Amino acid sequence: MKAHSCLAMSLWLLATMFTCDGGSAAVSDLTRRTSPFDQLQNVCLGMTSGDLSRARPLARPAPYLGYDERVGDYRIDYEFPGSYSEEQVVPKRSRLREVTAVREFSSTREVAAAWQEKVQDMARRLGGAPECFNVVRGGRHGALAVWNQGEVTVRTEFLESYVSRSVGREIRNPALLLVQIESPGRLAKWWKQTKSENTTGVSITPPCGLLPRRDRCNVRCTNG
């Protein structure tokens, strides 16, 4: 027990010694301390994978992604370019381009309620109502709220639970709540590709599918 406590203290000291440099703001500041990003005071978009591994010693390499770690009820995904296979080590100079927090729920009703609360909390913190959309990803329906913060884009999304079938048996997949921060250019590129080519398996429409284009919604935006 004593050795475990010493290890935990050493990891905490190592993490708190790292600060963002080059004028970069921490993810916690860019999201106005939105949970769970309020726990990422030493994570900055654009930092190298080597810096991230030093700043977040509990983060572990994740295939096709970069790194991930657990923070409370969330899995935090750190996306680095070059993380494209099971065996590939994340390049040390690869730079962080996206952070996503993912939380699982047992039902669509639970995740939709949690998303509504998250949207309202983020609207208060980020200072304004988001743009809201219905989303379909691989057959899963959900909703998306987006805040363009200038240097970054912050968004939160939920996806319903669903049942898949594999080798003659049913698998119940949990509903997902996501909170994400990225550079605006990445969202714009994804948006253009999604709307023009539909190659990502994602479709987006305004709330309830009633509006001809993106439109600003109130804080209580809902999935129609």
Q: Tell me the C-alpha distance between 58 and 171, whole Å.
A: 30
Q: How far apart are CA 72 and CA 81, in angstroms?
A: 26
Confidence of residue 19 (pLDDT cuts 50, 70, 90): low
- Please tell me which residue, 210 or 42, carries the higher pLDDT value: 42
What's the confidence (pLDDT) of residue 218?
A: 36
The residues pairing with 163 across neighbouring beta strands, listed in sequence order, are: 172
The average confidence (pLDDT) of the chain is 77
What are the tens digits of pLDDT across the range 121-133?
999 999 888 888 8
Whole-number pLDDT of residue 54: 93
Average pLDDT over residues 161-185: 82
Radius of gyration from C-alpha coordinates of the chain: 18
Provide the percentage of residues in the chain whose pLDDT is more than 90: 41
Strands 153-159 and 131-137: unpaired
Which tens digit of pLDDT belongs to each residue from 62-110? 888 899 999 999 999 999 988 766 667 788 889 999 999 999 999 999 9
Please give the Cα distance from 189 to 89 (Å, whole number).
26
What mean pLDDT comes out for the span 102-119? 92
Contact 171, 145 (CB under 8 A): no
Contacts for 211-216 with beta carbons within 8 Å, 24 or more apart? 214/131, 214/133, 215/131, 216/129, 216/130, 216/131
147, 156 Cβ separation under 8 angstroms: no
User: Which pLDDT does position 128 carry in this prediction?
Assistant: 82
Three-class secondary structure of residue 11 per DSSP: helix
pTM for the complete prediction? 0.78
| Structure confidence at residue 209 (pLDDT) | 36
Per-residue DSSP letter, 121: H
Q: In this predicted structure, what is the pLDDT of residue 25?
A: 86
Q: What are the boundaries of each domain within the chain? A: 25-101, 104-209
